[in-house]
Amino acid sequence: MLAFIVRRLLQAVLVMLAVALIAFAMFRFVGDPVNSMLPEIATTEDRQALRAQLGLDEPIPTQFAKFIGGAVQGEFGISYRNKRPVSDLIVERLPATLELVFAAALFALLMGVPMGVYTALNRHGFVSNLLQIISLIGISVPTFVTGILLILIFSVWLNWLPSFGRGEVVQLGWWSTGLLTISGLKSLVLPSVMLGLFQVTLIMRLVRAEMLEVLRTDFIRFARARGLTDRAVHFGHALRNTLMPVITIAGLQLGSMIAFAIITETVFQWPGMGLLFIQAVSFADIPVMSAYLVLVALIFVVINMIVDLLYFVVDPRLSVGGDRA
Which of 71, 93, 35 has the alpha carbon at shortest distance from 258?
93
Of residues 145 and 313, the one with the C-beta less far from another protein = 313
CA distance 85 to 76: 7
Instruction: Report in angstroms how near the CB of residue 222 gets to another protein at its nearest.
Output: 4
CA distance 264 to 286: 22
CA distance 77 to 27: 12
Position 227 contacts another protein (CB under 8 A): yes
**Contact set for another protein, span 137-196 (CB under 8 A):** none
Which of 251, 239, 249 has the alpha carbon at shortest distance from 213?
239
Q: 182-215 and 239-267 are packed helices; what angle lies between their axes, rounded to 10 degrees?
A: 140
Q: Distance of alpha carbon 273 from its chain centroid, rounded? A: 11
Of residues 1 and 325, the one with the C-beta less far from another protein = 325
Of residues 108 and 223, the one with the C-beta less far from another protein = 223
| Residue selected from 200, 237, 250, 271 as contacting another protein according to rule CB under 8 A | 237
Position 316 contacts another protein (CB under 8 A): yes
Of residues 257 and 307, the one with the C-beta less far from another protein = 307
Which of 281, 282, 299 has the alpha carbon at shortest distance from 290?
281
Position 228 contacts another protein (CB under 8 A): yes
Instruction: Report in angstroms how near the CB of residue 312 gets to another protein at its nearest.
Output: 12
**Contact set for another protein, span 205-224 (CB under 8 A):** 217-219, 221-224
| Residue selected from 72, 137, 236, 269 as contacting another protein according to rule CB under 8 A | 236
Question: At 175, which helix (H) or strand (E)?
Answer: strand 175-177
Q: How many residues bind another protein (CB under 8 A)?
A: 28
Positions in the binding site for another protein (CB under 8 A): 217-219, 221-230, 232, 236-237, 240-241, 314-317, 320-325
